[in-house]
């Protein structure tokens, strides 16, 4: 299962051009606390969060995450998208709340 498959199945909108949509997704981590993600997310996971500020890109790069899904109709800040472009991090947004996105993704990744 790669990022593109998940984008399609969850009807996400990709906000970045340079991320690797072919990248294999190894799991998912859900948290809005950045230190928690630093401590507990694993390489290759998608990260679901409400945070929209540029620091999420630094976290995704340092943890080598597969991408970031921002939920609940939130829009990433312009600076966040710029950094995502520079670093090649995929950001996708969802109109649904975190519970729904996480629940659907859990089901997809279990298959």
Is 94 an interacting residue with respect to another protein (CB under 8 A)? Answer: no
Candidate ranges 6-14, 28-36, 67-75, 96-104; the one touching another protein (CB under 8 A): 28-36
Bridge partners (DSSP) of residue 69 are 48, 92
Q: Which of these, 28, 65, 22, 72, lies nearest to 51 by C-alpha position?
A: 72
Q: Which of 35, 78, 110, 111 binds another protein (CB under 8 A)?
A: 35
Q: Which of 10, 14, 21, 54 binds another protein (CB under 8 A)?
A: 54
Query: For residues 15 and 83, which CB has a smaller minimum distance to another protein in the complex?
Result: 83
- Report how far apart, in Å, the C-alpha atoms of 1 and of each of 5, 52, 77, 111 are: 6, 25, 28, 10
Q: Is 28 exposed, middle or buried (0-12, 13-18, 19+ CB in 10 A)?
A: buried
- Using CB under 8 A, list all residues that contact another protein: 31-36, 38-39, 43, 49, 51, 53-55, 57-59, 61-63, 79
């Amino acid at each position: 299962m790669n990022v593109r498959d998940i984008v399609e199945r969850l009807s996400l909108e990709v906000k970045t051009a340079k991320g690797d949509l072919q990248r294999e997704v190894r799991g998912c981590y859900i948290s809005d606390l950045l230190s928690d993600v630093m401590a507990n997310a694993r390489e290759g996971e998608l990260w679901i969060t409400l945070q929209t500020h540029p620091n999420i890109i630094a976290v995704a790069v340092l943890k080598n995450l597969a991408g970031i899904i921002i939920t609940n109709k939130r829009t990433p800040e312009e600076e966040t998208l710029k950094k995502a472009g520079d670093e090649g991090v995929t950001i996708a947004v969802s109109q649904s709340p975190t519970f729904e996105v996480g629940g659907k993704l859990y089901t997809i990744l279990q298959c």
